[in-house]
A and B are shown apart, each in its own frame.
Chain A
């Protein structure tokens, strides 16, 4: 779920079930009411008399004009496997147009809609990248989960895929290149491979879009050349495994992660829920514990479940798989649960209303 930066009343949400597949929901009134885009009475029929209702239609573009051949990617056992659409993992509204929105999907590909989510077209240059056959699913599936739009250069988009890695376009999505140099992953055959890294989340500060912060499967990483090269900034974290990473609204060197014990034990080290904050862009981290459970806490915090607002001081929010949403109104110094007993929280987004 995510709201438009230029029209806070416009919110997009992805809803998926094994029964009825992908649904896209859109609110035009700040979340009071929701509808699949393109199903108002005036939208019902095309000129041929066929119903539209294509807001949930994600078809890989294999056309000769704009698409790329539908090839295969690596499966868990190393064999090749056909690309199959499964679901939308992340929706990222354009920074400039409320009707323009990007969708990161599983099996990994990037789609966009320019009509408010009524119809979707693939930016096939990403899936058609030369490295595509080497991409492989992580345990959660081969998902494109992170989409970073450059606020200064509108032609530049960075994305991340589990488990292929990070990629960047500098021409509005036509061509893409892997940006994984410096990532080192012990759990793959070649730890320094061009692709195959399980990137969990990337974040940037709008004032410095060339600086990227990454929570990888293991390792917290930093790049100061828009992903051209990365170096590790895990420093004194108790564990550098985790999912979300985010940047303070007003301090581009202040970042937040939530360390998780390990890839097979998805809970905070020692059962103590601690957000870690670095005010130096990594390496030196402090534990933020006030108001967070410091014993017997065995929740996880998923990659899309952390968000910041743009107030001063900056508010920080995160949700857990135990159904709590914690908020800090002072940049992380103190926390309190603002919601409890939800199902596992998949997505937390804060909007700062005028």
Chain B
């Protein structure tokens, strides 16, 4: 079970409370994880990654296991702790506005 924590705005948009749980086969990467999130919650398409380029939106960041993964390759394998659900994958909106 893979655990994903969305920022509050996207939880509202997707009508979810708390964490998102995913079952995913194959190699776990940022791309496969986010594809799975969007497949389950299609209203999130375009909100974390650009619709066309699939690049991470500038004010969105990805964290897991205490590390900033925002600048990692989207096709790099994610840590085993995310794959086995020990640690969640966090989508975070940049601090801005204050």
Contacts and interface: CB of A to CB of B under 8 A. Distances in A.
A119 to B, nearest CB: 11
Contact of A20 (B39, B42, B60): B60
Chain A interface size band reads 20 to 34
A39 B9 contact: no
A35 B52 CA distance: 22
A42 to B, nearest CB: 12
Interface in A33-51: 35-36, 38-39, 43-44, 50-51
A18 B9 CA distance: 12
A35 B42 CA distance: 12
Contacts of B41: 39, 53
Contact of A57 (B38, B45, B93, B94): B45
Which of the listed residues A18, A51, A56 has the most CB atoms from chain B within 10 Å of its own CB?
A: A51
A204 to B, nearest CB: 34
Contact of B46 (A17, A50, A57): A57
B13 A23 contact: yes
A59 B46 CA distance: 12
A21 interface: yes
B45 A20 contact: no
A49 to B, nearest CB: 8
Nearest to B44: A53
A21 B42 contact: no
A17 B9 contact: yes
Given A51-B39, A54-B51, A56-B51, A19 B45 contact: no
Given A19-B57, A55-B43, A56-B47, 14 more contacts: A17-B9, A18-B58, A19-B59, A20-B9, A20-B47, A21-B46, A21-B57, A38-B42, A39-B43, A53-B38, A53-B42, A53-B44, A53-B45, A56-B51
